[in-house]
Amino acid sequence: MNVAVDPAIVPQRLVIVLPTTAEFDSRTYRIARSCVARGHDVTILARSAPGLPAEELDPAGYRIVRTEVEAIDGLPFPVLWRRLLRRPAGRGRTTAGESGSGPGPIVAGRSTLSSGRSVRSRLRAAGRAVVRLTAIVLTVRAQVRASRSLDPGADLYHGMAYMGIPVAISLAARRKVPVVYDARDIYVDAGNIARLPRPIRRFVGRLERGWARRADRVITVNRPYAEVMASRWDVPLPLIVLNCSFRYEPSEPRSCRIHEQLGLDRKAAVVLYQGGFSRDRGIEQLIEAIRLVPDAVLVLMGYGRLHAELEAVAADPADEGRVRILPAVPPAELLDWISAADIVAMPIQPTTLNHRLTTPNKLFEAMAAGVPVVASDLPGMAPIVRDTGAGLLVDPTDPTAIAAAITSLVADPARRAELAGKALAAAHGTYNWETQANELLAEYSRLTGRQW
């Protein structure tokens, strides 16, 4: 990315705190890359995992520093606890992850209690919820402790997600500098936390509200989220920084890298799902739908808890190779892969408030790559798809409706090309990271008093 650096810009230091490994976090990548291009020094404090280096320099010029994070290290006298439990240090695994994504165990089953369940099962569910909450609190504390010795210091700290912001707040307080809370989801209404008993969710909500109010600025990814957060936390309307991608020019002719990688017939249409492999993202519905679409293959590119299950589906000879799996790719390579698809599908399920209001990364990434979408007709993403003409909207709970939308695009290349052109035009004109980065960096400048 070539950027003409404004001479008024004052080089500053930014530390971004992540509760994940930073391998596939596109928003963090875009922020860090934009700041480095303007001459700033950027460090990402993240969590370690087996096989990842403790420190690395990204080709974009920012540094990633990873630390061991386990809930046991959040206890008083962790060395003593390890001896008592006979557990070695440095296992390289986290014990609590962000809701709906990232590393960490999940509570088996739903925690929402129905009247038909026994008292014993209710108590077990409540016990699991308490364990989950305790793991979250201890894991945050462990990352705070571990990050202090690795913190290079900064002029501004940027805390990602509800398990990143308390770490960022702690580090910023030691330096007496501003801190930003990047609330990328409505966490108490998302993923595993949405399934916990109401009292536990309320407690998590109170914790998050306190962190949000201690931050110097809250930012989020769309207007619906911002309105919910402002109301619940009694903070000014958060700054909206959409999860758009950098402007991008697809190759001509279009790349066939997905076909080549998977050995697909060039005549087969590639329907791509990319992102986290977790429940309620519409993956199950897509698998049902693709069986009804002639001459198409569903390619699932990503990582997550469902990976083993999806590998088993892809290996089932009954599906005749209609479902294929690709590993996640680094953010810098993602658009090259997406642009090789014919359709990007995202039938996210309306199971939580967070999902109903979401504007997912994958929507903007598909638009940037000039690929039409088949997306959920939900309040968050539907207005963008409708206004830009970037694709088709469907009832995400109905595999037949999803299949019909995909089939209509597979069978009509001219219509597909028309929607692709509209998607790319919208990405170049409005929905791009260059525009969003200006908003974010203007806020950074206000907070530090020096131009970013």
Higher pLDDT, 116 or 102: 116
Report if residue 251 sits inside a domain: no
Measured between its terminal Cα atoms, the distance across the chain in Å is 17
Q: What is the mean pLDDT of residues 99-108?
A: 33
What confidence category does residue 153 fall into, taking pLDDT thresholds of 50, 70 and 90?
A: very high
- Name residue 240's beta-bridge partners: 220
Query: Which residue, among 133, 142, 179, 146, has the nearest Cα to 15 in the 3D structure?
Result: 179
**Do residues 89 and 203 share a domain?**
yes
Angle 190-193-195 from CA coordinates, rounded to 5°:
95
Residue 431 pLDDT > 60:
yes
Whether 5 is in a domain gets the answer no
Q: CB 307: neighbour CB atoms within 10 A?
A: 16
DSSP 11: P
Per-residue pLDDT, 407: 98
Does residue 156 share a domain with residue 39?
yes
| pLDDT the model gives residue 208 | 97
Q: Could you tell me if residue 56 is inside a domain?
A: yes
Q: pLDDT by residue (tens digit) across 157-211?
A: 999 999 999 999 999 999 999 999 999 999 999 988 888 888 889 999 999 999 9
Specify the pairing of strand 179-182 against strand 217-220: parallel
CATH classification at residue 265: 3.40.50.2000
Q: What is the dihedral of CA 79, 81, 83, 84, to 10 degrees?
A: 170
Q: What is the pLDDT of residues 39-75, one digit of tens each?
A: 999 999 999 999 999 999 999 999 999 999 988 887 8
Q: What percent of the chain has pLDDT over 90?
A: 80
Burial (CB count <10 Å: 0-12, 13-18, 19+), residue 109: exposed
> What's the longest Cα–Cα distance across the chain?
68
Q: Is the pLDDT of residue 429 over 70?
A: yes
Q: Residues 343, 438: one domain?
A: no
Q: What is the mean pLDDT of residues 336-363?
A: 97
Q: Quick one: 232 and 375 in the same domain?
A: no
Please compute Rg for the chain using Cα positions.
Answer: 22
pLDDT 10s digits, 290-342: 999 999 999 999 999 999 999 999 999 988 899 999 999 999 999 999 999 99
Instruction: Kindly state the percentage of the chain with pLDDT values over 70.
Output: 89
| 238 and 314 assigned to the same domain | no
Structural domain harbouring 268: 257-429
Q: Are 71 and 95 in contact (CB under 8 A)?
A: yes
301 located within any domain: yes
Q: Is the pLDDT of residue 94 over 60?
A: no
Could you tell me which residues come within 8 angstroms of residue 279 by beta carbon, excluding any fewer than 6 positions away? Answer: 306
Q: Check pLDDT > 90 for residue 348.
A: yes
Domain identity same for 236 and 332 = no
Q: What is the structure's pLDDT at 5?
A: 65
Residue 427 CB coordination number (10 Å): 25
**Whether residues 223 and 322 fall in one domain:** no
Q: Is residue 7 part of a domain?
A: no
The whole-number pLDDT of residue 191 equals: 82
DSSP secondary structure string for all residues of 64-116: EEEE---GGGGSSSHHHHHHHHT--S-----S---TTSSSS---SS--PPPTT
Q: Where does residue 241 fall: left (phi above 0), alpha (psi -120 to 50 degrees), or beta otherwise?
A: beta
Q: Are residues 337 and 198 in the same domain?
A: no
Query: pLDDT (tens digit, 9 = 90+) per residue, 113-152?
Result: 234 456 677 667 667 777 878 888 899 999 999 999 999 9
Q: Are residues 274 and 419 in the same domain?
A: yes
Looking at the fold, whether 312 and 417 belong to one and the same domain comes out as: yes
Q: Find out whether 48 and 54 touch, Cβ atoms under 8 Å.
A: yes
Backbone angles phi, psi at 18, to 5 degrees: -120, 140
Answer whether residue 1 shows pLDDT above 80: no
How deeply is 211 buried, as exposed, middle or buried, from its count of CB atoms within 10 A (0-12, 13-18, 19+)? buried
Which residue is listed with tokens 């580090």?
171
Structure tokens at 56: 């690395």
In single-letter form, the type of residue at position 131 comes to V
Q: How many CB atoms lie within 10 A of CB 275?
A: 24
DSSP symbols for 212-243: HHHSSEEEESSHHHHHHHHHHHT-PPPEE---
- Are 280 and 407 in a shared domain? yes
Looking at the domain assignment, is residue 4 inside a domain?
no
Q: What sign has the CA pseudo-torsion 385, 238, 32, 168?
A: negative
My answer on whether 404 and 441 are in the same domain is no
116 within domain boundaries: yes
How many distinct structural domains can be found in the chain?
2
User: Burial of 312 by CB count in 10 Å (0-12 exposed, 13-18 middle, 19+ buried)?
Assistant: exposed
Q: What is the mean pLDDT of the chain?
A: 90
- Give domain status of residue 361, yes or no: yes
